[in-house]
Structure 1
Amino acid sequence: MALGGLLVIVCVLGYAWGAVRLGDRVQVLAVARSVAAGQSITAADLKQVPAAEDPGVQLIPATQAEQVVGRTAVVPLMAGTLLTPSLVGEAAFPPAGKVSASVALKPGQYPQGLANGSRVAVYVSPTAQGGGNGQPAPVSSSTAGSAPVRLQAVVLGVDLAGDGQGGTVITLLLDASDAPKLAGAPAGGVVLMQTSPGGA
């Protein structure tokens, strides 16, 4: 009986300790509705949500909401995103070292359902997919057999109205050093593939 009583006490203490650990949460700021890159953040764009404390993740406490209102979204923010200091910045856009660029793509060159804020891998072909009058473009000896160049970007906008020639205009945020590679892509030489938040 004594052992049984001791076991009950241990179980109760263990449950109490676990409950305290699970309850060790703080109120942080999250995005209540989608915010475009470069857009000023308003109070209506924010909401408070509970989150577990993690020293490795810099979430913005709910008590700092007034300091976030009026600042600018560095990248497109989707509803439900937990805010970190790296996601909000000053009014300047694009951020230092970044540029925005638009490309007109045909179906099959980008994933259907692509949304603002999506991370994509941009594959730029060194050779054109086709020339004028539907004829294949000439391939130089310097580019023949070359693999596509892979760039990383974030989708800023998707214009389904397109360019008037059946293409969808997609605006991307990418490294300034990658802009010349995208600008030099031949017609039909750009393909987008959606990636995970980590870029894989």
Structure 2
Amino acid sequence: MSVGAVRPKSGLEDRPQVAQPRAGRGPWRAARRRRRLPFVALGGLLVIVCVLAYAYGAVALGDRVQVLAVARAVTAGQAFTAADLRPVSAAQDPTVQLIPADQATQVVGRTAVVPLLPGTLLTPALLGDAAFPPAGKVTASVAVKPGQYPQGLAAGARVSVYVTANPAGAAPAPATTSAPASSTPARMQAVVLAVDLAGDGQGAVVITLLLDADDGGRLAAAAAGGVVLMQTAPGGS
């Protein structure tokens, strides 16, 4: 071909040039980024929730202290031993004066003012000279057999005590003789202080009661086997 000759067009030069996409870019890349956004937001929310939960737990635990509690039943006037005490975690309340667990040695040897049940948190007011039973009340223990008391009876329960008196010096009625209609068992109200399942060694359970002083004599005069306990609802008569 000579110089100056016109080069024929192939037709390719007239076509618009399309930019080739760079590697790593394109619509699929943007779509993947949009799909990841909800997961990123959820992850951030979980982190915030975990931080708040940890902060709340730290504050809650910071408000709890180790204090002394009763490990087993203690009667009024009984001196505390180390076995009667155990440390527990309790919420700190400025209105309640609990005894710190590190003062256990100062409690050992002191006496309980009133009967204490296992789990009771100790306060200084519960230590000192016995002030039990209250004025006008007495404590009494009675041996009863199955059928004479409700199963599952525990300390703190309120009971109605029915007793049949056996007049002093009177001979027991024959087994074939029916009791007169007028011999209605006396009814007394009492609170259970303790239930000794070991009993008297003869198959009876020994139950200690708190009752009115006037009823103490009637309970003591009850005929053998003439005591029946019925549990009453709290506040019931």
- 1:26 Cα deviation (Å)? 0.7
Query: 1:94·1:100 contact (CA, 8 Å) conserved in 2?
Result: no
| Letter of the structure 2 residue corresponding to residue 139 of structure 1 | A
For 1:92 and 1:50, the matched residues in 2 are separated by: 27
Which structure carries more relative contact order (alpha carbon 8 Å, separation 6+)?
A: 1
Secondary structure of 1:20's partner?
helix
Quick one: structure 1 residues 124 and 8, their matched pair in 2 at CA, closer, same or farther if it must change by over 3 Å? closer
1:99 aligned to 2:99? no
State the identity as a percent: 47
TM-score by length of 2: 0.57
Structure 1 counterpart of 2:20: none
Quick one: structure 1 residues 70 and 193, their matched pair in 2 at CA, closer, same or farther if it must change by over 3 Å? farther
- 1:41 Cα deviation (Å)? 0.3
Q: Kindly provide the CA deviation profile for residues 92-142 of structure 1, in whole angstroms up to 9, marking residues without a partner as x.
A: 363443422122323311245767xx223332237669x7223333233xx
TM-score by length of 1: 0.65
1:120 aligned to 2:154? no
Quick one: structure 1 residues 99 and 39, their matched pair in 2 at CA, closer, same or farther if it must change by over 3 Å? same
Structure 1 counterpart of 2:178: 136
Secondary structure of 1:101's partner?
strand
1:181 aligned to 2:194? no
For residues 26-45 of structure 1, the aligned pairs below 5 Å read: 26-45=65-84
The partner residue of 1:172 within 208, 211, 231 is 208
For 1:86 and 1:158, the matched residues in 2 are separated by: 31
The partner residue of 1:20 within 24, 43, 58 is 58
Indicate the structure (1 or 2) with the bigger Cα radius of gyration.
2
CA RMSD between the two structures: 4.1
Structure 2, unmatched stretches of 5+, are: 1-36, 167-171
Q: Kindly provide the CA deviation profile for residues 11-46 of structure 1, in whole angstroms up to 9, marking residues without a partner as x.
A: 133212322244131101123455444320023432
The partner residue of 2:91 within 38, 41, 52 is 52
